Every structure is written in C-alpha cells, then in structure tokens.
Structure 1
Amino acid sequence: MKTGAAVKAGGLPLRAARTSWLVRPRALLVTLGGLVALVLLMALNMRIGDIEMTVPQVLRAVVDSSGGDHFVVMELRLPRALTGALVGAALALAGAIIQSIARNPLASPEILGVTTGASVAVVAGVVFSGSAAGGVSGLLASVGIPALAVIGGLGGAALVYALAWRHGLDGFRLVLVGIGVAAVFTNVKYWLLTVGDVNDTGRAMVWITGSLNGRGWEHVVPVALALAVLVPLTLLGTRSLNALRFGDDTVIALGVRMNLARGLLILGAVMLSAAATASAGPVAFVALASPQIALRMTRSAQPPLIASAVVGAVLITGADLVARTAFAPTELPVGVVTAVLGAPYLIYLLTRIRKGRT
C-alpha cells in the first residue's frame, strides 16, 4: 500500500527490512489509554484488603522491598490483579480472532467448546473425586483443576472442529456446531452438579462462575507464558486474518491457504482460551464484548487484536474492583459481574444486527 493511500485509510506505514505494518494512530491511542486505565484500576484493586492502603502506598510497596507492605502487595494482591488482567487479555484476544474468522460479532470461545468443555471436565473431576475413592480422587489431586480445565477445553474444541469440518472449515457452520455442542456440554455439566454431593458441587460452582479469589503466582505464570508465545505468533498471522474477513473466493484469489490459516488461528485462540479458563474459570462475556468495544473505539474494519486484549484486561480488572466493593465486605465472583454487564450488551448486539438486516 502506498503511503498516501495508507494515510487516507487511517494508518501510517511502518517498514522494517522486508516486512511492513500499517499503524493506525487511533488504535494506538486507544491502546495507550487502555494501558493507563489498566494500571490505575490495578492499583485501586490492590489497595483493598484486610490492610487498607492508599494508591501511593501500593505503588511504593511495589518498588520498595524494605517496607512491611511489600509482602502484602507482591505476594497476596499483585498476583490476583495480574491474573485478572492477563486472563482478560487472553480471552479478548481469542474472541477477536474467532469473530474475525467467523465474520460474526456474536462468536466467542464458548462456541468453540473451550469454556463449556473445561467446565464439564472440572465439574466431573470435582464430583467424582468426592464420590469415588482412590483412583479418581488421586487423579484429581495429581492433575489438578487447571490441568483438567485445559484437557477439557482442548477436547471440546477438537470435537467442535471435527464436527464442523466438511472438506474445509466454514465460519457459519462452525458457529452453528459450536452452539449445539455448547448446549450439550451445558446440560451434562448441570446433570453432574445434580448427581454430585452438595459440598463437591459447591466447590465446582465457585470455579465455573469465574473467580479471582485466592489467585497466586502459580495462576499468573501459565497464562503469561501462553500470551508470551501466542501473541507474537498471532500478530504474524494478522495478514491472513485480514484476508479471512472477505469471502472464500476472494481469500483464495489473494493466495492465502485458507483452511491452514483458519486452523492455525483457531488453534491459537483455543490455547489462549484454555489457559485463561484454567487460571480463573470460565469468565463470561469478556471474549464476546471486548473485541466489539475495541472495534467501535478504534473504528476499524474488524476487531483489532492488541486493542481488544487491552480492553479485555481493563474489563476484568474493573469488574473485579466492582465485585469486591459493591457489596463489601462480601466479595462476588468476578464472573457474576461480567455476566450482569455482558447480558445487556449481548441483547444490544442482537438488536443491532436485526435492525441492520431489516
């Protein structure tokens, strides 16, 4: 793209060696503003606890290891805040990829079977570990809930992908198959909750709602590694992702290996969703709403990846702050807040799509 055309398109070309990118100033401003808001929200979140702190005290405790507040902030509060931000970024990035591939603003990791598959695996592990002796209980203790979530999420995504494949992968068929598989998984999950012991199902319900309570560095590391590996790979596939928003014939004419590109990008979205779900549970609506919010803020043709990730981090961090303060001293799971805020947004999207078609 020539420089003049790029500027008219709302972007500035950036070249390095044989590679070039189109940098959009509005998307850059949205991303930077989101990062500032994220830091402030994390600082406000970390001041809440048994030991009340001011924001300057929190910021000072992060850099000053000699004070008594350093342990409280670094070992108890910062891991929770980082887990929320990283989980939000991973879910939003996965949502942006899936919505771009499916060409549908209502698409999210839920339709790929990731979150519902993870929920079934975790509920089954918790319920059977309480009702069976030895083998299953020992398996849960050795594998752990995060590993079960990853296994279930990958298994659910593999099932959806296999059922949706018909000499290629069509975005519309992927959405329909994903909705059907998610409905089956949801009913299996509720059946397991019904037949399980009330104490075991209570533990499972806390996880499947989506919660950041008690999160430590062991929850930060997996999702951080997933982002560190998959974000650069996803950005390398941005050209293919931009092409996939056109019709299949156009994509093939542009020389893009359509099925391979879709498969690799969906695999990346599945891995991001699985890592996020394993760390905080299936937090609802973040992957659905964040890309659409970023899309409208940046005025892009499709959900921007980095801006969507930042918006997702801000959404979960802000929702966790609301969950901890709205009914203090009682803390709500963050998934409850995102569901309450996300349901009206889903209705808005449905209404907007219907008006557009009319």
Structure 2
Amino acid sequence: MTTVVFTHGTGVREPHLAALLAQVASGLAATGPGVRLTAYDWGGRHGARLAAGGASIPAAPGAGTGRNTGGPEDPDETEEWARLYEDPHAELAAASAGAGPRVTPPGAAFPEERPRALLRELAAHGEPRAGAIGPGLPEAAAGLTRSPLLGTAAQALDQEALAWVLARALAATVIASGLAADTPVQSGGDARDAAVAALAERLGAAPAGTGRGPLLRVAGKPLVRIGSRYALRRRRALTDAAHPAAGDILKYLARGEDMRRGLRDLVAALEPPVVLLGHSLGGIISLDTLISGPLPGVELLITVGSQGPFLYETGALPSLAHPDPLPGHVPPWLNLYDRRDLLGYAAEPLFPGRAHDIATDSRQPFPVAHSAYWTDPAVYRAIGERLP
C-alpha cells in the first residue's frame, strides 16, 4: 500500500490540520483508492511561536498617553496621506463631487485656466524646494494639467484651497511613484509638508500659509476605514494572526534542520512505497529533506503551490544553490501550481528532465487560490495518475 505523507504549509495548526487532512483524504480517495494518508504535523512541534508573549511588539503611538507620541501630525492626517498615496487624485475627486453647475460668462476665464497655466510652468521648471520628496515632479505636474478633475475642482474650490489640494496631489503622486519603484529612501512628514507648502505657493496659495485640511476628512465621509492607523492600533492582534505564517517561513530558513529531521524520522518508520506531498512551505521542507540526503522508500515528490523553485533560483533554498543540479537520489518530482496563485512557482524550467510542472486554475483570485488546490479535482487527478 502506498503511503502519502502530507506536509502542511505555513500557519496551519490544529484543529485546522485535521480538517485539511480530511479534505485531502477525500480527494485522494477518488483518484488513488487504497492510498494511506498520514500527516507530518511540523507546525505543532516546530512551528513559530511568540516565546515571550509578544514582548517585541511596540505599543501603538499614543498608547496610554492619550496623545499621538509619534509627532505633531494628527493621526487622521497620516491616514489621509495613506489614502492619497494609493490614489493621489482622491482629494481632487472629492472636491469635484461637490461642484455644482456653473456658467462662465462670455469672455471670462474658465476657473481652471490659471491653475493649469501654473501647473504647466511647474512642469517646465520644477520646484527646487520640493526635491526632498523625490524625482518625477515635472511629469506629475504635466499629468495633472490633463486631469478631467481639474476643471470641476476649480469650480468647487477657491484659489487658496485648490492650490493646496493640487500640491498634495503632486506630492502624493511623486511619493507613490517612489514606493512603486521600491526607492530605498523616502521623505519624512516634515520634509513632505515643506514640499507641499512650496508647491502650494507656486500654484497660487499665500506664502507661509498653513493650508486647509484634506477634503477626505472635512467632507464628513472618510474614505479610509482600514489602514495604517487601524493597523497600528491593532498591531498585537494582527501579529498574533499573522506570525504563525510569516514566522514559520523565517524560522525554517534560519533553523529548519529540526523540521527536516522530523520528516526523515517519520518516513523511516513507514513501509514503502512512500510519496511526499507538500503544500507551500511543506513543499519546501519535503524538497529540502530529499536533497539533503537519500530517503529510502520515497518514490515520488509532489509539491503544490510551493516556493521551492523560487528559493532555489534566488539562492535562498538551504540545501541547494543555483545552478547546482538536483542530486541523483531525489525521486521524480511533480510540481503543481495555480496560475492565479502568486505563491506557486514553476520547477520544470529550472530542473528540466527532473521536475514536471502542471498548471491548474481554480478560478479563484489570490490569496484564495493558494488554499483552493484541495478542492480542485484537477489536482487530485494529476496526483492520482502518478501515484506508485
């Protein structure tokens, strides 16, 4: 009788492991009748834990003091900036939504003509005082001149308010571009605010003005309900929820020998033939264990939604460095990944002739796709066809 050793992924603990194992057993029963399924519960014994009860988690800004200890900036303003980094024109859109119908008399200038001219000038000559927020200001200003929101926002706001809204939109655009490009250094809040003040002045605001609060707040309908402020206040709860998954990966890469030894000991007690079936980090553990030394009786390795190939290519797989080949004692390798699973990687291009890839499609978005393999009949058909 073939024994399939199922090695679970990150963050899985009882009672969830039992439910997952029952699902896998049900799927295998249809394509591999007579197969014996057993679980390697490395998470229960070797998984990551907050050994000191979370002593490393800092308190949220202002916790226990009734004030924001992170600085003079209003925490609501921090949240609004987070929203602007996601959508630099969100404030312009909020202003435009409040614009009513307006008729421009014959011969009079349209409200957006002056701000558009100032933006063109800014695009042509830049603003040295705003250099701290990063490069790309001329491009951001040129793009803003073409925004359809400029006209309606100019109708809704006076010159002073519009100048500050446009300045914040420009600053948010530049900073967001830096974030997207993984720029290693970003400006602090003081440097950002100084740049916004300089830009607002160039766009028609009074010199040394303080600006008006972002419309995202004064509109009375906050557009940000969950973000950095929520995360700070809930940091302990979020860490408690996330640390098994993230911690498992970090612990394995730093001290994974105990996990590999546990799998070797389990396999040694089983009658062959044995198949190693690993999901996510479980696939890495299975692959690494096989590479590090022969496992008599193991005739097939199956990895599902696993990052093993990616770790190998990036030089992070503990047992094998690219471009070294798989050792000859590693058995045939079936690797399944869902095309929509951002944590599933291809092995065949890296190990031609040694690994065989099958791409599946659960029709679920990520991250659901990473856990949807075990309800996908195509996964069990692929496994069943190759079981010894």
TM-score normalized with structure 1 length: 0.24
TM-score normalized with structure 2 length: 0.23
Structure with higher strand content: 2
Give the number of the structure with larger relative contact order, counting CA–CA contacts within 8 Å between residues 6 or more apart: 1
Structure with higher helix content: 1
Larger Rg: 2
